[in-house]
Amino acid sequence: MAALLLAVSALGACAPRDDAPRPMHISSRAVGQALTVTVDNIPPGRAVTELLLIDPAGGATQARERELSTRETASGGNAGPGVAVGATGGSSSGVRPYISLGYLFRGSGRVERSQRLTGEIPIPDPAAYAAGYRGWRIVLRYRDQLGEVRQVTVPAPPPER
C-alpha cells in the first residue's frame, strides 16, 4: 500500500502545472505587399519587443502596425462589472489607448489572462519574396517573466495567389 501511495504521489508531481505559461501560437499570411502576423496566447509577464521579417541575406523589416489586446476568460468567480485597458496602433500611426467595459458572470473563480498581438509587416521586395519565400522568416522577440530576451523564429508563409 505504501508503494502504491508513493507511486501516485510521484505521478502527481510530474503532472503539468495549471499555472505554467502556455506556448504562444504564431500564424501569418502574405497578402499583397505585406504579411499579417497574429501571436495568440502571450502569457502575462511576457513583453513583445519586436516583430520582424528577415530576408535571406539577413536584412530585417520591422512591423509598422501592431495591436496588442488582453483577453480574460473566466470559468467563474464573483459576478460583477469588469474593465479592460489596452492600446492599439504602432510607431507610424501613433498609439490609441482604449477602455472596455463588460460584465462577468458567476462560476468557479478561475480566470485566465492572455494577450494577442496582431501586426503588419511590409514586404520590402514582393517579387523576391514570391520567388523565394522559403528563405525568409518571421522573428518575434520578447522579454520573459525574468527579464531575459528571448526569440521565436517561424518560416514565412507562401504568398497568396
The number of beta carbons lying within 10 Å of the beta carbon of residue 97 is 9
Average pLDDT, the chain: 79
Q: Which domain holds residue 142?
A: 22-71+113-155
State pLDDT tens for residues 53-62: 999 999 999 9
Q: What does the block give as the cell for 47? A: 513583453
pLDDT at 3 over 90: no
- Does 40 fall in a domain? yes
| Residue 45 binned pLDDT confidence (cut-offs 50, 70, 90) | confident
| Distance of alpha carbon 21 from alpha carbon 112, whole angstroms | 10
| Distance of alpha carbon 119 from alpha carbon 102, whole angstroms | 26
In sequence order, the β-bridge partners of residue 80 are 104
Please give the full DSSP string across the chain, using - where no structure is assigned.
-HHHHHHHHHHHHHSPPTTSPPPPEEEEEEETTEEEEEEEEE-TT-EEEEEEEE-TTS-EEE-SEEEEEEEEEES-B--EEEEEEEEEEETTTEEEEEEEEEEEPPBS--EEEEEEEEEEEE-S-HHHHHHHGGG-EEEEEEE-TTS-EEEEEEEPPPBP-
- Per-residue confidence (pLDDT) for residue 154, from 0 to 100: 96
CATH, residue 134: 2.60.40.10
Query: What total number of domains does the chain contain?
Result: 1
- Per-residue confidence (pLDDT) for residue 97, from 0 to 100: 74
- Does 90 fall in a domain? no
- Does 105 fall in a domain? no
pLDDT at 70 over 90: no
- Does 161 fall in a domain? no
Q: Which of 149, 138, 150 is nearest to 29 (CA)?
A: 138
- Does 143 fall in a domain? yes
Q: Are 113 and 72 in contact (CB under 8 A)?
A: yes
| Distance of alpha carbon 35 from alpha carbon 51, whole angstroms | 11
- Does 56 fall in a domain? yes
- Does 51 fall in a domain? yes
- Does 135 fall in a domain? yes
State pLDDT tens for residues 8-20: 444 444 444 445 5
